[in-house]
A and B are shown apart, each in its own frame.
Chain A
Amino acid sequence: EIVLTQSPGTLSLSPGERATLSCRASQSVSSSYLAWYQQKPGQAPRLLIYGASSRATGIPDRFSGSGSGTDFTLTISRLEPEDFAVYYCQQYGSSPTFGGGTKVEIK
């Protein structure tokens, strides 16, 4: 099983700032089968990024993904009020696993 470790656990930022979230895999994720989800309290997760860097339908271009192998990054270029949430990475090159999440909170 591929273990995904997300850091930091919590990111305290102000609206308009840049957020950089990390996801590290215990072994190489084949063909960059890495996705990112956003989850707000009481809601189901929402797909943001797949294939490490492709935005899902309707996702604003302030969200971008990068990385390959074992190191992946989700960047939110300028935080909007609605972006404060928990973010999860997921690998799907083998039996799916999720990272533990990064909470982006208002500073």
Chain B
Amino acid sequence: QVQLVQSGAEVKKPGASVKVSCKASGYTFTGYYLHWVRQAPGQGLEWMGRINPNSGGTNYAQKFQGRVTMTRDTSINTAYMELSRLRSDDTAVYYCARGIGSAWGIFDYWGQGTLVTVSS
């Protein structure tokens, strides 16, 4: 069965960076885009970007351009999202999600989420 398993919770200071991992299993990792979506406490969902695990090509939401880097390691079916220059308003649950379908894609399987807390 398809599973996306993310790394554990992180606490970071403002200005630091965080790197969250997402390990895929149960499907061909290189066959589907992997997206990152975040959710601040009590707030809605915000798309951050996606990576093509086959080519490594990425697309980032304009809001995160210059601060986010998405990478992957096909040898271990794992994708990574690194966010730099963290601010308090980056405190959120970060999800990875598999993208399917047409255009920019919909998200049929999600990771369990990783809570990133930014606090001095």
Partners in one complex: yes
Contacts of B105 in A (CB 8 A): 92, 96
Contact A31 B111 (CB under 8 A): no
Contact B106 A1 (CB under 8 A): no
Give the interface size bracket for B toward A.
Answer: 20 to 34
CB closest chain-A residue, reference B113? A44
A interface with B by C-beta (< 8 Å) = 1, 30-31, 33, 35, 37, 39, 44-47, 50-51, 56-57, 88, 90, 92-101
B residues 77-120 in Cβ contact with A at 8 Å: 95, 97, 101-108, 110-113
The DSSP consensus for interface residues of chain A is loop
Contact A93 B107 (CB under 8 A): no
In whole angstroms, what is the CA distance A57 to B109 when docked? 11
B interface with A by C-beta (< 8 Å) = 35, 37, 44-47, 59, 61-62, 95, 97, 101-108, 110-113
Among B62, B95, B104, which residue has its beta carbon within 8 angstroms of that of A1?
A: B62
Q: Give 13 new A-B contacts, CB below 8 A, not counting A92-B103, A98-B44.
A: A35-B107, A37-B107, A44-B95, A45-B95, A47-B106, A47-B108, A90-B45, A90-B106, A93-B103, A96-B35, A96-B104, A96-B105, A100-B44
Contact A56 B104 (CB under 8 A): no
Contact B110 A45 (CB under 8 A): yes
Determine how close the nearest CB of chain B comes to the CB of A101; give it in whole angstroms: 5
Contacts of B106 in A (CB 8 A): 35, 47, 50, 90, 92
Among B46, B61, B107, which residue has its beta carbon within 8 angstroms of that of A45?
A: B107
CB closest chain-B residue, reference A96? B47
In whole angstroms, what is the CA distance A51 to B37 when docked? 20
